[in-house]
Structure 1
């Protein structure tokens, strides 16, 4: 057994075989050195990473005599509400320090960011599932985004039948019914245009100037005001048509009563074809992509 332990130690120290190298040697009477825990005269000083590589802590959580540092348990503040029927509080669990009591989170607070931390298998997905199911039972809206799909599959199996008529399932892998979203759809025209141009500005920050913003904003406002006047469906794909097809513009611009937009299109039509292409080029190449 001692010979095997010696070979194991020698193999472990074999990692350090570069400039500060170690070599094997035979001891005439190894019992005296081992029992006395005495270093030879030519001892070696180990750095912290080297020592950690040789004498690492055991990975087994049930190792006898090993005390691990963990998060300190504290009492929940008195302001943390308790879930109760009709109280508008979502249940989180029960406190494990002091007097055990249920703790929850107000529905209004759940609308803010919640960061759940824990190791794999500690119950993060289970807690999120309970929060979503609580919203479903109380007829509140909830959106679940799962990059892997396992959590959504488990959640679908636990949803009650009463929510089937208000359930929308979007699967990007489903080629038969691809999900679509009309970014120009909205009741408030100014808010829709502000949001859309803001998104483009953040995506193309280095290539988005005031003229590009003006052209994009004027085109979207024209399409939305035309929709409000005629009731026709407009999408983001109509912006290149509006900027590049004169016949399409002739059908839309006469319906616009806004003097600011009419002034923009008067200036747009007064430009030569090369000048117009230079103005709309930064918008067109991003919309084509």
Structure 2
């Protein structure tokens, strides 16, 4: 269908974007956790919106019932910490936040919110060694993150720290965005995740 649409669009247009996951050599980037504004005051507001959007996307992809209170809490704490780090991050960094003490040690000094900082420096380390916590709390968010990170094609797209295209700006400017997110080629959940990113 994408090829059919392209054939009908004027060749004079220079605002047509094709998102094709099969282009492994030059994959486009779509970071769920990217903050784009340089304004310090606006960054805090955008941070809240980005975290809420991420949780909403996960609920849509996996089903709202599958994102329980513990998973929601771990996702929000991870997102909040990562977004305070100067280098930012994406789904790969979220996974590292839950599994790597070395990575947490690099991120937590930049965390501004004292509640979030105390969680990662005191609460989480105390819980991380508990087998029951790992089984009942950590496995749920990790298996959702790994579902996408373990897929090379999808990981090439969503694990980039910088998005190739600001979807919202492109749409608002009247640009044409065409996406080849075939379920047959990528799987249902992978296709659903990338599809959910388009309105952002």
TM-score by length of 2: 0.60
Kindly provide the CA deviation profile for residues 154-173 of structure 1, in whole angstroms up to 9, marking residues without a partner as x.
Answer: 21xx232xx53x44333344
- What residue is the counterpart of 1:149 in the other structure? 3
Change (3 A) 1:257 1:176: closer
- What residue is the counterpart of 1:176 in the other structure? 25
Kindly provide the CA deviation profile for residues 30-86 of structure 1, in whole angstroms up to 9, marking residues without a partner as x.
Answer: xxxxxxxxxxxxxxxxxxxxxxxxxxxxxxxxxxxxxxxxxxxxxxxxxxxxxxxxx
2:105 to 230, 250, 253: 250
SS in 1 for 2:23: coil
Q: For structure 2, which runs of at least 5 residues remain unmatched after alignment?
A: 38-45, 148-200
Rounded Cα–Cα distance in structure 2 between residues aligned with 1:199 and 1:241: 20
Rounded Cα–Cα distance in structure 2 between residues aligned with 1:153 and 1:273: 58
1:210 to 39, 53, 69: 69
Once the two structures are TM-superposed, the CA of residue 276 in structure 1 deviates from its matched residue by 3.9
8 A Cα contact 1:268 1:276, kept in partner: no
Rounded Cα–Cα distance in structure 1 between residues aligned with 2:93 and 2:106: 13
- What residue is the counterpart of 1:225 in the other structure? 84
Q: How many pairs does the alignment contain? A: 134
Tell me whether 1:270 sits opposite 2:126 in the alignment: yes
- What residue is the counterpart of 1:159 in the other structure? 11
2:58 to 193, 200, 212: 200
Q: CA RMSD in A?
A: 1.9
Rounded Cα–Cα distance in structure 1 between residues aligned with 2:76 and 2:51: 6
SS in 2 for 1:169: strand
8 A Cα contact 2:78 2:97, kept in partner: yes
Runs (4 or more) in structure 1 with deviation over 6 Å come to none
**Relative contact order (alpha carbons < 8 A, sep ≥ 6): 1 or 2 greater?**
2
1:240 to 95, 112, 116: 95
Change (3 A) 1:180 1:257: closer
8 A Cα contact 2:47 2:83, kept in partner: yes
8 A Cα contact 1:219 1:239, kept in partner: yes
8 A Cα contact 2:82 2:88, kept in partner: no
Rounded Cα–Cα distance in structure 1 between residues aligned with 2:7 and 2:92: 34
Report the structure, 1 or 2, having the larger helix content.
2
Once the two structures are TM-superposed, the CA of residue 148 in structure 1 deviates from its matched residue by 4.4
